[in-house]
Amino acid sequence: MADISFKNWPFFWGVATNAFQIEGARLKGNRTESIWDDFTKKNVSVPDALNSPEREVASIAESADYYNKYKTDVNIMHHLGINLFVYAIDWTRIIPTGNFVNNEGVRFYEKAFRAIKNKAITPVIILFHWDTPMWLEKLGGIPSTKEVKKHFRFYVATVFKRLGKLCDFWLVSSENWAFAYYAYIEGLFPPNYKNDYLAFVKVLHNLNVMAAIAREEFDKAKDEGYIKARAWLGTNFDFCPGINLHNNKKLDNLYRDWNLHLLLEPLFKGTYPKVFIEFINEKKLYFKVNLRDIHYLKKHPLDWISWNFYRPQYFTEINKPLVLENEKNPSVLHSSGKYLLVWPKKFNDEKVAYTKWSWLIKPEYLLTGLKEIQKYYPDTPILIGENGCGDFDTVEVLNDGTQVVCDYDRINFLKSHIQQVMKGRAEKLNIVGYCVWTYCDIFSPSAGYRKRYGLVRVDFEDKKLHRYPKLSYVWYKNVIDSDGKTLKEINDKSLTEQFKLIAKPENWDRIIKYMK
């Protein structure tokens, strides 16, 4: 087991991003399609009504073209001062067909991660972020246990062998719940199954088996010298800490079983909360978690946790729904069928804050969630892998013609969450770092390109996809420079002065020019 004494690492201030959302160059360099290429080609719809938060899907053929612009982006991130960069790589860029290694794809990642490391930024590589290769999807995709076991093993063994020397911090997959739920129950994400509970439970289980396979290959790669002994392998999970509308301990435990234990226990303890087995039996699903898999999971536990925190989630008993006039969004029956997810306008007589896409804003639950995870995993390092605010950004043109985005709401969102990070550090919790989602404006799975998360603006109207700093870029630079001690107010004069200076075209051009 790696030496997980993270005490000897600096606190990590980073950004996170994901290949299919940022890379573009979808058919360049011998790459083949993933389910996200297929889906976004068939569902390119850009609704006329701007500023309507309904779902927009648009092409990822080019996106922010990180594939060709990574050198510029590395300079921008270096200037920002980050020391951690979380990147989910693209399976099909490396394995374009079942058992063929695409050297051009490997070479791209070697160059891109070496450029990151050359700027003293530590990379974190995520192996799978929802983008099943089309060639694997045609064999049954992630629900197909036999195919997944064989092909995922070949993929991760290839990555560890070819890229292992470039990275000490690895994550197997992103947001297993979001993928299983939105892609196999809701049908919102590709491969767009609807209410396929059998595929849903198989995907959740197979993602756990994939993690154990990655562990086995990771340890082999360490023995063979491809990966450093100190390297860590973990999971990047999505967990919305629950807010129970009623004082009901039984329901609290059920929520925790489905939202925390189901996502971490199999990966770290090789066990499943009984609610999952009961669910399979109640739904009479033709699936059984076999003992051989359980033994395999127990034998190959992970080392660390990256937790993507955006929002907590209100929930209530099925027979105690919100009154209609207090519903910001209609309530949703949880996939377990045991409780309701709700979005109240008011709670305890207080107006509840939401983003424009109705994502609940309650920063204090970053600390609550951290403590809840640590209660069950007391010695496991925890990174805040993603935290960010999707918004419609407006561009202002200063009198010298500089285009600027003063994203005050995003700064206030980040500030309120980083305040909780600083509390966690002061209480000596196992938090090892914090990453903003995301570095620059990219494709959003839930809303295309209008829902912007970037610290850096990408002008998608401009064929050069020019990058511009937002006010939040300068704000976060101050946070990093002060190791989280400087959380400037949005109307801080020194902040706007810095911003005007950095955003000045001649200054910004110097920052983004690729220096050897």
Helices 493-503 and 471-481: crossing angle in degrees, nearest 10, is 110
Q: How many CA atoms lie within 13 A of 215 on its CB side?
A: 22
CB of 129 to ligand BGP, least distance (A): 6
CB of 497 to ligand BGP, least distance (A): 32
Q: Which is nearer to ligand BGP, 308 or 380 (CB)?
A: 308
Contacting residues for 121 by C-beta, under 8 A, at least 6 apart: 14, 74, 77, 78, 82, 83, 84, 85
Identify the bridge partners of residue 167 per DSSP, sorted by sequence position: none
SS3 250: helix
Cis peptide bond prior to 438, omega within 30° of 0:
yes
CB of 503 to ligand BGP, least distance (A): 25
CA distance 161 to 218: 9
Q: Which is nearer to ligand BGP, 162 or 452 (CB)?
A: 452
Q: Which is nearer to ligand BGP, 451 or 477 (CB)?
A: 451
CA distance 132 to 6: 32
With contact defined as beta carbons under 8 Å apart, do 384 and 431 qualify? yes
With contact defined as beta carbons under 8 Å apart, do 73 and 29 qualify? no
Where does 233-322 have alpha helices with state H?
249-256, 262-268, 274-282, 291-299
CB of 116 to ligand BGP, least distance (A): 19
Q: Which is nearer to ligand BGP, 449 or 499 (CB)?
A: 449
Q: Which is nearer to ligand BGP, 157 or 361 (CB)?
A: 361
CB of 437 to ligand BGP, least distance (A): 5
Identify the bridge partners of residue 412 per DSSP, sorted by sequence position: none
Per-residue exposure over 320-339, b if at least 16 CB sit within 10 Å of its own CB, e if not = eebeeeeeeeebeebbbebb
Q: Which is nearer to ligand BGP, 145 or 446 (CB)?
A: 446
CB of 285 to ligand BGP, least distance (A): 26
CA distance 510 to 91: 34
Q: Which is nearer to ligand BGP, 6 or 309 (CB)?
A: 309
Locate tokens 């197909």: which residue?
144
CB of 186 to ligand BGP, least distance (A): 12
CB of 140 to ligand BGP, least distance (A): 24
Q: Which is nearer to ligand BGP, 173 or 430 (CB)?
A: 173
CB of 444 to ligand BGP, least distance (A): 3
Q: Which is nearer to ligand BGP, 296 or 437 (CB)?
A: 437
CB of 16 to ligand BGP, least distance (A): 8
Q: Which is nearer to ligand BGP, 17 or 102 (CB)?
A: 17
Binding site for ligand BGP (CB under 6 A): 18, 21, 174-175, 178, 238, 308, 386, 390, 437, 444-446, 451
Per-residue exposure over 182-202, b if at least 16 CB sit within 10 Å of its own CB, e if not = bbbbbeebbbbbeebbbbbbb
* Terminal Cα distance for the chain, rounded: 38
With contact defined as beta carbons under 8 Å apart, do 76 and 82 qualify? no
CA distance 214 to 300: 9
Q: Which is nearer to ligand BGP, 177 or 218 (CB)?
A: 177
Helices 274-282 and 197-223: crossing angle in degrees, nearest 10, is 140
CB of 442 to ligand BGP, least distance (A): 8
CA distance 183 to 204: 11
